[in-house]
Amino acid sequence: MEINLFKLCSGLRVLGYFMILLVAGIIGISYYAVVFLTCGPQLLRGGFHSFLSFAIVIIFHVLLILLLWSYFRVVFKDPGSVPENWRAVSAEENLGVGSSLAAVDDGFERRSRGGYCIHCQNGKPPRCHHCSVCQRCVLKMDHHCVWVVNCVGARNYKFFLLFLLYTFLETTMDTVVLLPSFINFFADAKNHSSTPSNLALVFLAFVLNLAFALSLLCFLVMHASLLSSNTTSVEVHEKKGTVRWKYDLGRKMNFEQVFGTKKSLWFFPLFSQDDLHNIPALGGLDFPTRSDVEA
């Protein structure tokens, strides 16, 4: 009996739903430990510590809102699907028959060459890859993330990066806030100054937040490097064999290919209509390339 490994991979989607519950649980534990057990008593005492705790609670909630907003945008936003019967277009057809490959867009050419997916039996745009978990081709696929039960691709990569950023900031702040309680954990347990359940929650929240903050820092550094060179996780191997990466347009343009040009929306999981209309890369089907690199 033949076993279809690609079908087995689709079972990972079930794991993703447990990950969503895990995220909700971690947020719940952290919220209770930081807001109610740590900052709450300080707010009741008054004075400078009360003011500091109030500021922490405000920042905590702002980061939490931005974190959840970005998270749900990654979960529910389609990363980009290939239109039915899409076909690859040559550079000559794209720029016009008989025209030279003249550089456009400040010295960069716009090409729409692609390939063919044997699994989907459909055309495959450039930078598009087939996801074994989702069982479909994803535009400018970066990776399939079990934490969001979705692929990260052209149309939700910005939301994913913001989710990483705000989660890192939130967990780092939680770790700093809970550090004194963690240091005094054994003394509080010996003196019975708090209930065992509250002590256990504070201890667990500190360990979880510290672990996530450290791991997210590594992910942020990695994706910052990928963003600066306009590379996806699945393109890293392909890029190693090249002298110049054809999609590397310079740090400023690389950043705008993901976050758009409207600065007021850079830190929000949103795009302006102008950017969606004027930056084809955000759609995932067409990407400008360096004019000094062969396609």
Residue 182 in any domain: the answer is yes
Return the SS3 of 246.
coil
- The dihedral over CA atoms of 204, 31, 60, 155, expressed in degrees to the nearest 10, equals 90
Return the SS3 of 111.
strand
- Cβ-based neighbours of 190, under 8 Å, separated by 6 or more: none
Total tally of structural domains belonging to the chain: 1
> pTM to 2 decimals?
0.87
| 168, 216 Cβ separation under 8 angstroms | yes
pLDDT-above-70 percentage for the chain? 83
Residue 136 in any domain: the answer is no
Q: What is the pLDDT of residue 104?
A: 39
Q: What is the pLDDT of residue 185?
A: 75
SS3 per-residue string spanning 112-134: CCCEEECCCCEEECCCCEEECCC
Structural domain boundaries enclosing 168: 21-78+157-212
Q: Rg (Cα) of the chain, in Å, rounded?
A: 23
Return the SS3 of 207.
helix
Maximum Cα interatomic distance, the chain, rounded to a whole number of Å: 85
Residue 122 in any domain: the answer is no
Confidence of residue 1 (pLDDT cuts 50, 70, 90): very low
**Residue 128 appears among annotated catalytic residues:** no
Residue 268 in any domain: the answer is no
Tell me the sheet residues that pair with 124. Answer: 115
Which amino acid type is present at position 124? K
- Mean pLDDT value across the chain: 85
Residue 224 in any domain: the answer is no
Count the Cβ atoms, other than its own, within 10 Å of residue 60: 19
Distance CA 51, CA 59 (A): 13
Residue 98 in any domain: the answer is no
Among all chains, which residue has been given the structure tokens 């807001």? 35
| 150, 74 Cβ separation under 8 angstroms | yes
| 229, 254 Cβ separation under 8 angstroms | yes
Q: What is the pLDDT of residue 2?
A: 44
Average pLDDT for 235-260: 91
Residue 38 in any domain: the answer is yes
Considering 39, 131, 134, 145, which one is annotated as catalytic? Answer: 145
- DSSP-derived secondary structure for 38-78: IIHHHHHH-HHHHHHHHHHHHHHHHHHHHHHHHHHHHHHS-
| Helix (DSSP H) and strand (DSSP E) numbers for the chain | 11, 8
